[in-house]
Structure 1
Amino acid sequence: MFKIMIKTPVKVIYSKFACRSLHGSVRKCDKFENPFTRTFRVLKDDLSRKKQQLMQPTTSGVANVFPSHADIVIIGGGAVGSSIAYWLKQKTNADALKIVVVERDPTYKECSTVLSVGGLRQQFSLPENIQLSLYGAEFLRTLKKRFGPDAETNFTPHGYLVLASEEGAQQLMDNQKLQKELGAVNVLLTKEKLKERFPWMNVDNVELGCLGLEKEGWFDPWSLLQILKKGAKDLGTEYIHGDVVDFNFTARSDIMVEGTQQGSYEGINELIVQLPNGERKPIKFAYCILAAGGHSGEIAELAKIGLGPGMLSVPLPVQNRKRYVFNFKCPGIPPGINTPLTVDYSGAYFRRECLGGSFICGLSPPPEEEPIADNLEMDHSYFDEKIWPILANRVPAFESIKVTGGWSGYYDYNCFDQNGIIGPHPYYFNMYIATGFSGHGIQQAPAVGRAVAELILDGRFQTIDLSRFSFDRLIVDKPMFEIGIY
């Protein structure tokens, strides 16, 4: 293992709050500033900035006064990035931290968040994923209390139904036992009970099913994103429209890294943002959080992650992976309106979408059949060749269905083990990572935001221990795989 040794205390750069810690408490500074002088200086700066903002109104949440510095810069303003910003502000005095979120597309038209199906489930095999999604359910339950009466995500509480073959039945039982121990509410159904409860289902080659009874279902991901973003902005977070295109590096003689030469450590405390007009501007920061979804891997390379020596030789293995979601209508008598989101042991899933016999469905392809992820064009033959035969076998009423539409979106796919990477980078003491959720990000965003805020403000996880999801597992080659149901 590599170790970082700091020869002298690291002098962390804070913006206008240079005499305050991350908790807002007064600390010693290298140069004392009279409190009254500091107060008037800060007020003067704030009034000047507000005056400029009033003279140049903002549009689409994009500030016209570009910030030259921030205590914390978050790269990515989707659900995870906005949740982190919200929790950092919520856990401190709103003015104690200057937080800037850099988002490449404020319309979010290709964002993983808004193109997901908005599922919420606790039917996982890893305790961390179960706990993250349990808190996601609690967060949705208390939205109005936290954000006001207009906070609404249209949660549909019909649960998940996960099916298992004879080979996968034992794993389904093991998973369900762990889920219930951690607080999930679900029930195992035998083949006979499945047929009794869901008469529309062909259960000939199904051995067992697990049905979520509470805290599972689906919701509108766009609404959750807007709630999190508004919550962060109302507490003072600033959103910038731009692309992070580079980092500036600073030699640090006070830090030594095992495995490198003395005096060779280079830290980061500034990134470069390219604005929509092509102009490039720097932002200095004390901390940087990488939460850029499927683009996180390429941004990490700008910080030499995966391209340098020692710990920097290990890349951040997160890429965009394209997934299709198809709409179809079922003629005749379709499964009822309380039908759960049903996951066949082949991986194909379907659920109701509004009324009138409308459904959506999908299926993640095996690695060798991954579609090209450089565009969001649909391939309707994928439905005909891969998904329809599975659905028609499982639900006889689906034999004559026809596709009526659909969309494609990106997963921030972690190629290492398909689970989130959460926590500090082992080389850069001031860079944190929250990405690679591989389709689980929208339901886990509330808990991930809280967890990252705990790491930065409290120095450790306080609610859910996500230590096993750290970047370190890439270095020691210890993947955290979810065990699938077959």
Structure 2
Amino acid sequence: MATRFASTPEKASYDVVIIGGAIMGASTAWFLSNNKDFNGSVLVVERDPSYETSSTAHTNSCMRQQFSSELNVRISQFAADFVKNLRSYMGGDERVPEMDIQNYGYLYLADNQGFADVLRTNQKVQLATGAETRLLTAEEIAEEYPFYNVEDVVLGSINTKDEGYWDGGGVFDWFRRSSRENGVEYVANEVIAMTKCAAGTRVESVTLKSGEVIACGQVVNASGPRAARTAQMAGIDVPVEPRKRFTWIFTAENPLDCDLPLTIDPTGVHFRQDGPQSYLAGCAADPDPAVDFDDFHMDHNRWQDHVWPIIATRIPQFEAIKVVTEWAGHYAYNTLDQNAILGPHPEVENFVFLNGFSGHGLQQSPAMGRGTAEWLIYGSYRTLDLSPFGYERIAQGRPFVEKAVI
């Protein structure tokens, strides 16, 4: 993902300054630059153009429709349409690759009636929104996917339409490439301070690590797990912190003869197909505290003592597996409700949030970038109404609950 950016902005003032150039900042920049009603200037400030430690670089690049809120389902439906029609969205540019989704689906497994009831309730929302989620008994799961051990399973939930793996890195690359060709300026730098007007109602400028002071019409916080640090520069508190998530790629001595859905075990461990002969597994740390921004240390015991035994129990055919590679990444974790925080601050009116995606940001990036661009241009959302993600609920301690968080 390495890209050459200049370190110094070309101008001293921009209509929009986006802090963070990973998937959310890049999506917003592209939708701004691609909107005929916007002719302003955009600066994207990215502290690490290699993106080596960004959440975008560490993503598992999955997409699902199985959410508990209608709005989150519709957000992913737009993502699916955007990915499958990327070239068309980008003006028919023949350089843009044709993309699709590997639809092996997500399979949620419930081992108690309480969670089974949640899956039943969620399915009603999903079906009403046009998803094709099916509920499966243990016997039906065993018939379709005979490699699972379903002795403890009460119910399963699966959807194989627009649900599985997609090339998030490819979309990210084209967001950046196309927006830069449209005039968006990216710099390799870091915002270290902000200056507000005397009344405290607007951010007037941002200060870069290299010393430049850049005037801004609007500023977008797209800084991922560092969102709270960025917001504090404007005197704002936001409940987003880095939470560590582990990923392993492994091979099996006895591989399956069909694709493995992204399986969400009742323990919280998840695993899926990753290539023709490889698989991916992931889980949270335990305990799961906030970590330092630069803490990407692997807990090797987590695989040996927790993840591998769970996989081998759920899929006995995977008793003999070998880790090929592994990494730790960060969720930008919203501690209030694990849902996005979007839109303007109610008092610092030109400070715009694009934060707290808690692990489902990559698949939400097309809709969230589009919606943020709409708000920046029109002062309102024109397509999906994303106002339930507004900061007001944060200030009021009023969660916008999403039950299907992995």
| TM-score between both structures, scaled by the size of structure 1 | 0.79
Distance across 2 between alignment mates of 1:245 and 1:485: 32
Q: Please tell me whether residue 449 in structure 1 is matched to residue 369 in structure 2.
A: yes
Q: Please tell me whether residue 303 in structure 1 is matched to residue 248 in structure 2.
A: no
* Residue of structure 2 equivalent to 1:271: 206
TM superposition shift of 1:155 = 3.4
1:293-332 aligned at under 5 Å gives the runs 293-305=224-236, 315-332=237-254
TM superposition shift of 1:483 = 1.7
Q: Please tell me whether residue 241 in structure 1 is matched to residue 188 in structure 2.
A: yes
Distance across 1 between alignment mates of 2:291 and 2:273: 26
Letter aligned with residue 273 of structure 1 = L
Letter aligned with residue 339 of structure 1 = L
SS of residue paired to 2:76? helix
Letter aligned with residue 287 of structure 1 = Q
TM superposition shift of 1:154 = 6.2
Distance across 2 between alignment mates of 1:336 and 1:236: 48
Q: Please tell me whether residue 412 in structure 1 is matched to residue 332 in structure 2.
A: yes
Query: Structure 1 residues 336, 370: closer, same or farther in 2, change over 3 A?
Result: farther
* CA offsets 1:242-286 (integer angstroms, 9 cap, x no match): 01000122214xxxxxxxxxxxx4532100011xxxx31011011
Letter aligned with residue 149 of structure 1 = E
Letter aligned with residue 122 of structure 1 = Q
TM superposition shift of 1:205 = 0.6
Residue pair 1:172, 1:485 contacting (<8 A) in 2 also: no
The number of equivalent residue pairs is: 400
Q: Please tell me whether residue 193 in structure 1 is matched to residue 131 in structure 2.
A: no
* Residue of structure 2 equivalent to 1:396: 316
Structure 1 gap segments, 5+ residues each: 1-58, 253-264, 306-314
Distance across 1 between alignment mates of 2:292 and 2:282: 17
SS of residue paired to 1:214? coil
Distance across 1 between alignment mates of 2:287 and 2:399: 17
SS of residue paired to 2:377? helix
Identical pairs, percent: 34
* Residue of structure 1 equivalent to 2:96: 151
Q: Please tell me whether residue 229 in structure 1 is matched to residue 164 in structure 2.
A: no
Residue pair 2:205, 2:213 contacting (<8 A) in 1 also: yes
Distance across 2 between alignment mates of 1:150 and 1:361: 33
> Aligned match of 1:460 in 362, 369, 380?
380
Distance across 1 between alignment mates of 2:5 and 2:61: 24
* Residue of structure 1 equivalent to 2:216: 285
SS of residue paired to 1:352? strand
Structure 1, 103-112 or 340-349: larger mean CA deviation: 340-349
Q: Please tell me whether residue 106 in structure 1 is matched to residue 49 in structure 2.
A: yes
Distance across 2 between alignment mates of 1:339 and 1:355: 10
RMSD across aligned positions (CA): 1.9
* Residue of structure 2 equivalent to 1:165: 111
Distance across 1 between alignment mates of 2:69 and 2:136: 22
> Aligned match of 1:204 in 131, 148, 151?
151
* CA offsets 1:391-436 (integer angstroms, 9 cap, x no match): 1111001222232221111111111211110110111111111011
Distance across 2 between alignment mates of 1:376 and 1:368: 14
* CA offsets 1:123-154 (integer angstroms, 9 cap, x no match): 11122211111111011011122233343456
Which entry has the higher C-alpha Rg, 1 or 2?
1
Residue pair 2:101, 2:163 contacting (<8 A) in 1 also: no
Structure 2 gap segments, 5+ residues each: none
> Aligned match of 1:73 in 9, 14, 17?
17
Query: Structure 1 residues 137, 266: closer, same or farther in 2, change over 3 A?
Result: closer
Query: Structure 1 residues 414, 485: closer, same or farther in 2, change over 3 A?
Result: closer
TM superposition shift of 1:337 = 3.9
Query: Structure 1 residues 468, 93: closer, same or farther in 2, change over 3 A?
Result: closer
Distance across 2 between alignment mates of 1:485 and 1:321: 14
Query: Structure 1 residues 97, 113: closer, same or farther in 2, change over 3 A?
Result: same
> Aligned match of 1:336 in 257, 260, 263?
257
Query: Structure 1 residues 65, 467: closer, same or farther in 2, change over 3 A?
Result: closer
TM superposition shift of 1:63 = 6.0
| TM-score between both structures, scaled by the size of structure 2 | 0.93
* CA offsets 1:11-65 (integer angstroms, 9 cap, x no match): xxxxxxxxxxxxxxxxxxxxxxxxxxxxxxxxxxxxxxxxxxxxxxxx7132655
SS of residue paired to 1:326? strand
Distance across 2 between alignment mates of 1:280 and 1:371: 29
* Residue of structure 2 equivalent to 1:128: 71
Distance across 2 between alignment mates of 1:127 and 1:269: 37
TM superposition shift of 1:372 = 6.0
TM superposition shift of 1:481 = 2.3
Query: Structure 1 residues 284, 299: closer, same or farther in 2, change over 3 A?
Result: same
Distance across 1 between alignment mates of 2:148 and 2:7: 53
Residue pair 2:242, 2:290 contacting (<8 A) in 1 also: no
Residue pair 1:328, 1:403 contacting (<8 A) in 2 also: yes
Letter aligned with residue 162 of structure 2 = K
